[in-house]
Structure 1
Amino acid sequence: MARTATLSLLLFLVFATPAYPQASKLNRAVRTAENLEPSIPLLEQARETERKLAELRRTTGKRPNIVWIIVDDMGYGDPGCYGGGNAVGADTPVMDRLAREGLRLTSCYSQHTCTPTRSAILTGRLPVRTGLIRPILAGDTLTVNPWDGETSVAKILGEAGYYSLLTGKWHIGEGEGMRPHEVGFDEYYGYLPAQKEITQALDTRRYPDLTLDADKLERYESIGAEHALIHGFSMGDTKTVSTVKSLEEMGAADEQLVDFSVERIMEFAKGEKPFFLEHCFMKVHTDNFANPKYKGLSASKYAYKDSLCEVDLLIGRLVKALDDAGVLENTFVFVTSDNGPQMDAWPDAGYTPFRGAKGTTWEGGVRVPGIAYWKGMISPGRVSDGVFDLMDLFNTAVHLAGADAELPREVYIDGIDQTAFLLHDEGESNRECVFFWWKSELTALRMREYKWHQKVLLPQSTFMHIDMAVLQDVGTAPWLFNLYIDPKEELPVGHRRNAWLASLGAEAKAHLMTFKKYPPKKVGL
């Protein structure tokens, strides 16, 4: 196997050339500022969208509310509107309806795992830049606070007059100075880690070697992982609401979290400020435990499928609350997943029709559902294969808030404003390329319908995309796939059909050159 090159070596080799070399001839994007990712200029589309937004502001008298709904580890093929639903034993009527009444994105991309994605959408920056290249796990020792020098979208929106709330899973740092209400959110109500990190010390059937061994359990608990539901305010105290003491409590947690978000939506609607709500489900991340009220909810009866059906039902409650509060027509809603399904936990895992899964930069690991819904603003029934990176939510939210001038200038921003793409009746994506990193390794990129790999994650056993996979160089030439004829990335087309597309390496080179002035941050991960 070829030895993996380090990021530092790649950067050393690239920095011998002038900054920002010419991208490939395919590239239509234009760089408008040194620290901003180039975007495709679609001026008439942008002008028409701005007229549409201005008319709404004249009607409502304020900026739109913004609601992001993040499901944990939901696969591309799980919702019915993406080919799952009834066909895989778990109906999702709410997500299906939102897709029918809004815009369904078929090329929406996350990072390869949860912490990188969650940090990326809040900062508009690739995880390799912020140092948040993998989940921060119990027992990790960070050398610096990863949030130092970062500006969250919540902070920018707050300065633009929004009230911001994050409900549910965080997983981007549990220490002081790293929690949501300490990095820009006005309020936080949720659990700091993933649900498996909370329940594994309680699950005797699945983890007997931990739970039934007093010494191991004591040592595990001494790590100090947070197992509590907490409530914190930016200008006030952080308090523990309750501590999870049973699997049944964890199973019912998402309903409790939605109860809270619904209550706050009703309160926000009575106020003068627009609001930003990021609601992050604990489910469907393994280990899934049934809410006692919804046991056997799915046709499948498996825990994952029951959880998926419950999440869909709870998304319906969030949208209904917006409607009942009279703010649905002034609220941009986006529903997505933080990465592909965690197949290592199968059968407690979702489904993707693509190659790979969570932990890889194959399509199965990073292509996720993306549903944009805005009653009266996004035309029903739209479907687009325009490329969208979840980091684009950062720039889009900032633009909707009228705060573009507040975008950070001292760091590189990888997100792109996609407001016009999402809202225009015939919107086209402003993004030309998506770059895929696995920790500190640039592995692949997508441009139009082409996917270019220079490194790949290869599982050594069925479904073992995290626990038993090997990162390796591809060999003598990059692996180039045409996703329109080979969406499963099974057979490269490079020298047999499109040898000239090897020039996509120019995109990788230009991308790496952005690290010269804006070097990656190391936080101890």
Structure 2
Amino acid sequence: MCGLQQPLGRRLLLLTVLLAQHCADATTSIQPHIVTIILDDWGWANWGYHDRLVNNQQLQKEVQTPVMDALAQHGIVLDRLYVHNVCSPSRSAFVTGRNPRHVNLINRPSDMYDPSLPLDGIWGVPAQMTGIAEKLKSAGYATQHVGKWHLGYASHHQMPSARGYDRFFGYLGGGNDHWTYKINKLSKGSCGRPSLDLWHNGAPATDKVPHHTCGVASQDGCWYEDALFEQQVTGAINDHADLNTTQPLFLTWAPHAVHVPLQPIAAQEAKFDFIDFPSRRKYAAVVNDMDRRIGRVVSTLKRRGLWDTTLLVVMSDNGGPSLVDGGANNYPLRGEKGFNSEGGVRSNAFMAGGFVPEAQRGSVANGLMGIEDFYATFCGVGGVVTLRDAKAAAAGLPPVDSLNMWPYLSGAVEMSPRDLVVVSDGHQPQAVIDRLGYKLIVGETSSKGTTTSTLPNASYVSPSFCFQRHDKHPPYAGACLFNVFADPSESTNIADAHPDVIQRLTKSLEEAQRDTLRRRYGPEPTAHQALTSPACRVSKRKWGGFEGPWIEFS
């Protein structure tokens, strides 16, 4: 039964996937170590593997990622992994196994709160949803998260320790300073002054507070934040290996890089002084820096004897920001972070490690995959008994959307089980992509129509609308249809030539819009209100000026 060939009919395809999953579960005798690296704002063209495919000499000179190139060439490239166009919704999908529309569609400060609203009235992943670390922990895994959280922390029920992680070292919000660990302009300070944001397990990392002279202009004797994170990751691997146990490890590493502010180590930036444009130079430096850190962590896994049973996943949470101070490039994809063109939602991604079947090494998986699918995939290889989220069901929340991709990625079946990817803006689904490559977009989407190998540059200041305004409501007059398999730059709107496709995908989009989780939160405090907000008071009184959970302590 496990040797069935792939059938052509849809129902037979589903049956084959289920049979292949049964076979895989029956024959896998080990639980792999699962190490996931989620880079922040990594642009499509800022990976040397992609630059060589398009033979772009300028990018090949600027983009230096030899470690990740080699890992991908001996692993599985996930060529059609789709994510949300900004950070938190993507990470929420990864953790909960739900499409972003079923968990969280917006980035917001954690001090939005209204206790009269359902689901606690706070922003972030609902406390009633079961996370991937909880699932894997139920199957015997040791669990650890290092780096960016950005899933909500107003309540201690939203913290990593409540999500199944045995250990945590990282920052709670959307971004902070690489050298001072103070929250940056993208993460509003709630107390009228910069707050510190760095935690170790259940308390602020007070022992890591840098001296007052530390900063991008004064780096001597200071800890670069991604160096701290690498140290924690390496320590987690060494500690686990020292236990000399068969217990599997689930480790999520979410570096600060390559998110703004771009503050590379000075010597690292000097390696790219041939790049005249400042943000592009800094971006190239931090990408190369992360490549080197990943290489050292992989070397540790090999040296400690864990690599042969490790499944390593590397991906980006969204496309790169190509604004002047963003530094990224998504060539040849249209657009960037924050928009639903391909440059915002198609992610760099690959799998590597000794757990990847030998026959699949060096392959490219062209089938559709959503970031939410890692949940079921990890549960499948990790021996989790059921995907059902009883806690969420009791709260009336949407079920898990995730599909187990392992039968497809391991070569047991020829086609991805995912037929459709749903892509949302900050309010509701805006686009759908089917397994034939057709992508329907309604409403407005933005970013420059022209993509070059030298973005950003001085003439590229801000995004502009690349499509005419069109109706967000049926029948979507003026909607855009592309075949992104044949036209990754989304340069030719083929809607007029394919009314049947428009009609078919419109139904899928409307279904996705109807079942979107409509959440409400409290209002974002004004600057004056923030000075006396409960979040501010608790930060000062309990956490010593660090960001932290506050609802239970206010």
2:168 corresponds to: 188
Whether the 8 Å contact between 1:228 and 1:243 is mirrored in structure 2 is no
2:288 counterpart SS class: helix
- Residue 458 of structure 1 aligns to a residue whose secondary structure is coil
Residue number in structure 2 paired with 1:481: 482
Alignment CA distance shift 1:117-1:426 (3 Å) = same
1:78 matched residue in structure 2: 46
Q: RMSD in angstroms over aligned alpha carbons?
A: 3.4
Aligned AA (1:230): W
2:209 matched to 1:243?
A: yes
Q: 1:331: Cα distance to partner?
A: 1.2
Out of 366, 377, 382, which is 1:401 matched to? 382
Amino acid at match of 1:255: A
The runs of 5 or more residues in structure 2 that have no matched partner are: 1-7, 53-57, 115-120, 276-280, 449-458, 524-554
Change in Cα spacing, 1:391 to 1:283, as seen in structure 2 (3 Å) is: same
Counterpart in 1 of 2:454?
none
Larger RCO: 1 or 2 (CA < 8 Å, sep 6+): 1
Q: Is the 8 A contact 1:297 1:309 kept in 2?
A: no
Moved more, 312-321 or 177-186: 177-186
Residue correspondences, number: 467
Aligned to 2:539: none
Q: Is the 8 A contact 2:445 2:466 kept in 1?
A: no
Query: 1:276 — aligned with what?
Result: 250
> 1:357-379, CA deviations, whole angstroms, 9 ceiling, x for partnerless residues?
11111111000111011325332
Displacement of 1:429: 1.1
Gaps of 5+ in 1: 1-26, 31-38, 211-218
Identity %: 23
Partner residue of 1:452? 440
Partner of 2:200: 231
Change (3 A) 1:161 1:523: farther
1:64 maps to 32
Paired with 1:94 and 1:100, the residues of 2 have a C-alpha distance of 10
> Which amino acid in structure 2 is aligned with residue 369 of structure 1?
N
Q: Deviations over 1:339-359 (max 9, x none)?
A: 001123445334342112111
**CA distance in 2 between partners of 1:29 and 1:181 (Å):** 42
Matched, 1:419 2:399: no
- Tell me, in whole angstroms, the C-alpha distance in 1 between the residues paired with 2:486 and 2:152: 41
Which residue of 419, 437, 462 corresponds with 1:432?
A: 419
Give yes or no for contact 2:20–2:412 (8 Å, CA) kept in 1. no
Note the C-alpha offset of 1:185. Answer: 1.2
Preserved CA contact (<8 Å) 2:198 2:204? no
Cα offset, 1:226, TM superposition: 4.7
Superposed, 1:157-236 pairs within 5 Å as 157-177=136-156, 178-196=158-176, 220=189, 222-223=191-192, 226-232=195-201
- 450-459 or 137-146, larger mean C-alpha shift: 137-146
Is the alpha carbon distance of 1:434 and 1:385 closer, same or farther for their aligned partners in structure 2, counting shifts above 3 Å?
A: same
SS in 2 for 1:247: coil
* CA deviation after TM superposition for structure 1 residue 390, in Å: 0.9
Q: CA deviation at 1:271?
A: 3.1
- Please give the alpha-carbon distance, in whole angstroms, between the structure 1 residues aligned to 2:327 and 2:270: 14
Name 2:491's counterpart in structure 1: 490
More strand by share: 1
Deviates more, 1:270-279 or 1:386-395: 270-279
What's the CA shift for 1:149? 1.5
Quick one: structure 1 residues 355 and 150, their matched pair in 2 at CA, closer, same or farther if it must change by over 3 Å? same
SS at match of 1:91: coil
**Aligned match of 1:392:** 373
Aligned to 2:342: 363
Of residues 309, 313, 317, the one that matches 2:288 is 309
Change (3 A) 1:385 1:346: farther
Match of 1:521 among 519, 522, 526: 519
Partners of 2:62 and 2:488 in 1: CA distance? 24
Deviations 1:396-436 (A, max 9, x none): 11112221414315232222111112222774211100001
Equivalent residue, structure 1, for 2:362: 381
AA in 2 matched with 1:129 = H
Partners of 1:224 and 1:188 in 2: how far apart? 26
Q: Does 1:95 align with 2:68?
A: yes
CA contact (8 A) 2:81 2:347 kept: yes
Contact map agreement 2:324 2:460 (CA 8 A) in 1: no
State the AA in 2 paired with 1:283.
A
